[in-house]
Amino acid sequence: MTRTRLKLILLGPALLFLGAFFVAPVAGFVAQGATPDQLNRLAMAGAYLRVLGNSFVIAGWVTLATLAVGYPVAYVLATMDRRRRGYWSLFVLLPFWSSFLVRSFAWIVLLGRNGPLNDLLVSTGLADRPQELLYGPAAVVIGMTNVLTPFAILTMLGVLEGIAPELSRAAGTLGARPVQAFFRIYLPLSFPGIAAAGLLVFVTAFGFFIAPALLGSVRETMIAQLVIQQVLELTNWPFAAMLCLALLVAALAVFLLYDRIVGLSSLAGGTGARRDGGRIGRAGSRILAMVGDGLARVAPSRPRPPGRAPATRAAALLVIFFLLAPLILLVPVSFSGQSFVSWPPTDPTLRWYGEVVASPIWLAAAGRSFFVAFLTALGCFAVAMPAGVAFMMMSGRSAAALFALIVSPLIVPRLVIAVSLFYVYARLGWVGTTLGLVIGHIVIALPFFFIAVLAVLKTYDTRLDQAAASLGAPPWTAARRVTLPLIGTGLVSASLFAFVTSLDELNVALFASGGLVSTLPKMMWDEATLRFSPVLAAVSTLVLLVMSAVVLLALRLGSSVKES
């Protein structure tokens, strides 16, 4: 068998799957929107334009806030020694992988009229009575920032870890004060990371509907909500397609920019940092240098670099608290004796947990979610594992193209994927079927799984197979005795991440699961849009526990691979 044929066979499943369930549905669906009629409709109706403008403004604010809040954490993590970094980054990874939905719910409690924040404001005398913090642009931005900051931190961390610590030290020996070294050396070098995080956060925020729907008022309606409304309430397919096209174009434009600045391969852990940004980059560096010099002149001389400065650390800790707050504060609410959500919770009770466990609807949803997640993990393995092996055999342009194809579901807003699949399912009669859900979840989880698998395969030295062969092991024995023991845990870890992604997936289920056959996130979403009850807090706490356990296990297995 020639190498080319082997590669084609290995690539077959991935190419067919993505072609049939991603490329064709999405392209086919959004193409319907590309008509002058629909464009006119968008342009004529001021309400729609306002939503579009809203989405831009909110996503912009969220991006700024995320970067401002995330950078200190990324900086402190990147300048820590390796062991402590591994420990502290858990506090970013856990919120990153824990339920989007649950974290957004928590802000309803946190910012609510009787919530802990109002409690704090009143008791410290900053306000004389509880303020309306919910249902405004601030609540939406805070909620989205909270949800997206871990994402931004991890993106920036990838670049910041690559900045050699000697550079700041070298700047010191050459006469630069710590502030100067930071502004002249460290910050310019971290720019690709900041830009990448900013772009990714922007494009994700732009297609968001959970936070604006739960925490905002009608005035904060975003484009994704409009899509849902057009599909589910008005069944206006062509116009929904037009809106999806707008989302898609915005996303693609942002990713092209990302690729220009950092390079998509950096997603797979490759070294990014391409060219400096030309003239603009140089002008920016000069401004930063001037800022640094100015600060150095006014700042008291400090013998320690800012990474170890207590102020930076305190800021980072504060941000970590902000990230964890929704997770921590949901737990007490689930034990509250009141039947409405209140703060502080009183009369501790297990009543709500009892209700959940006794409810056939919740149990059915949970069972279905786990089943779907399990099948999703299996499906990802079947589709992406052969492609990963093929990827390792490829190089140059074809490898880059394959990588771009398999991670492209990450680039297309999930909502667009979900609506496109819904459109196809509606005609195939797959709406409300487990198969439909699993296929959608595989498309969405595939990029995460593929990236994790590549990380595992990259650490594997293929010469070990050759060594096993030279020592007399036939291929299957070599795979069983040498290859699998070495990469097995890494593959399990990758599958767990696919599992978690599926468990928290709402978009596909929003359209593709109907009536009694809901998934857990869909049930939670339906509940939350009606009323946030302690039952929901109990469910959220349980979901959080399960997801955290799975993620911790996955991280543990993943890191044991890296160490060996």
Partner 1 sequence: MSLALAMGEVAPRTVPDIRLDVQGLAKSYGGVAALEPVSLAVRRGEFLTLLGPSGSGKTTLLMMIAGLVDPSDGRILIDGADVTAQPAYRRDIGVVFQSYALFPHLSVFDNVAFPLEMRRLPKAEIRRAVTSALDLVRLGPYADRRPRELSGGQQQRVAFARAIVFQPSIVLMDEPLGALDKRLRDELKLEIRRLHRELGATIVYVTHDQDEAMLLSDRICLMNRARIAQLGTPGTLYTRPVSRFAAEFLGESNILSATAEGGLLRLADGQTVVTRDAAAGAVEVLIRPERLILARSGQPGLAAVVETVIDLGGVRQIFLRTAGGLVLRATTLGGGGPGPRPGEQVTATADPADVVVLPGGAAR
281 Cβ neighbours under 8 A, 6+ residues apart: 188, 191
**Is the CB of residue 253 less than 8 Å from the CB of residue 243?**
no
In the complex, what is the shortest distance from the CB of residue 317 to partner 1, in angstroms, rounded to a whole number? 24
Q: Pattern of binders to partner 1 over 339-378, x per CB under 8 A?
A: ----------------------------------------
- The distance of closest approach from Cβ of residue 397 to partner 1 in the complex, given in angstroms and rounded to an integer, is 23
Cα angle at 448 between 447 and 449, to 5 degrees?
90
Of the residues 73, 147, 152, 189, which one makes contact with partner 1 according to CB under 8 A: 189
The 3 state secondary structure assigned to 357-400 is HHCHHHHHHHHHHHHHHHHHHHHHHHHHHHHHHHHHHCCHHHHH
Using the contact rule CB under 8 A, the part of the chain among 82-90, 171-179, 196-204, 240-248 near partner 1 is: 171-179
For residue 326, which of 204, 148, 455 has the smallest C-alpha distance? 148
520 C-beta neighbours (distance < 10 Å), count: 28
Residue 301 in the binding site for partner 1 (CB under 8 A): yes
Binding residue for partner 1, selected from 119, 161, 276, 465, defined by CB under 8 A: 276
CA 425: distance to chain centroid?
26
Pick the closer one to partner 1 by CB: 192 or 521. 192
Piece of 175-183, 307-315, 332-340, 420-428 that binds partner 1 (CB under 8 A):
175-183
Residue 185 as a binder of partner 1 (CB under 8 A): the answer is: yes
Give min distance, CB of 310 to partner 1, in A. Answer: 17
Is 79 an interacting residue with respect to partner 1 (CB under 8 A)? no
Q: Kindly tell me which residue out of 13, 172, 263, 332 binds partner 1, with binding defined by CB under 8 A.
A: 172
Return the number of the residue (171 or 226) whose C-beta is nearest partner 1.
171
Placement of tokens 């009183």 in the chain: 346
Min dist CB 131 to partner 1, Å, is 46
46 binds partner 1 (CB under 8 A): no
- What ranges in 79-176 are assigned the alpha helix state H? 82-88, 90-97, 100-111, 116-123, 137-160, 165-173
Amino acid at 348: P
Question: Is the CB of 276 or the CB of 527 nearer to partner 1?
Answer: 276
Question: Least Å distance between CB 273 and partner 1?
Answer: 8
Nearer to partner 1, 164 or 516 (CB): 164
Q: How many C-beta neighbours within 10 Å does residue 314 have?
A: 12
**Is 171 one of the binding residues for partner 1 (CB under 8 A)?**
yes
Q: Does 180 bind partner 1 (CB under 8 A)?
A: yes
Contact track, partner 1, 141-170, x by CB under 8 A: -----------------------x-xx-xx
- Residue 192 or residue 207: which is nearer to partner 1 going by CB? 192
Pick one of 46, 125, 303, 360: the residue that binds partner 1 (CB under 8 A).
303
- B/e letters for 460-498, b = 16+ CB within 10 Å, e = fewer, are beeeebeebeeeebeeeebeeebbeeebebbbbbbbbbb
453 and 492 in contact (C-beta within 8 Å)?
Answer: no
Which is nearer to partner 1, 297 or 531 (by Cβ)?
297
Closest contact distance (angstroms) between CB of 88 and partner 1 is 20
Report d(CA 36, CA 164) in Å as an integer. Answer: 53
Q: State which of residues 149, 285, 334, 518 lies at the interface with partner 1 (CB under 8 A).
A: 285
Count the site residues for partner 1 by CB under 8 A.
Answer: 23
- Contact flag: residue 495 with partner 1 (CB under 8 A): no
The amino acid present at 168, given as its one-letter code, is S
Nearer to partner 1, 174 or 484 (CB): 174
- The single-letter DSSP state of residue 176 is -
Q: Which of 227, 233, 259, 263 is nearest to 417 (CA)?
A: 227
Distance CA 485, CA 378 (A): 19
Q: Using the rule CB under 8 A, is 176 a contact of partner 1?
A: yes
Among 24, 49, 120, 174, binds partner 1 (CB under 8 A): 174
Segment near partner 1 (CB under 8 A); pick from 83-91, 182-190, 252-260, 522-530? 182-190
Residue 278 engages partner 1 in binding (rule: CB under 8 A): no
Rounded to a whole number of angstroms, the distance between the first and last alpha carbons of the chain is: 33
CA–CA gap between residue 374 and residue 352 (Å, rounded): 27
How far apart are the C-alpha atoms of 58 and 141, rounded to whole Å? 7
Closest approach of Cβ 170 to partner 1, in Å? Answer: 4
Q: Exposed, middle or buried: residue 266 (CB in 10 Å: 0-12, 13-18, 19+)? A: buried
Distance CA 69, CA 321 (A): 12
Stretch that binds partner 1, among 68-76, 177-185, 205-213, 502-510 (CB under 8 A): 177-185
CB of 196 to partner 1, least distance (A): 16
Binding site for partner 1 (CB under 8 A): 164, 166-167, 169-178, 180, 184-185, 188-189, 273, 276, 285, 301, 303
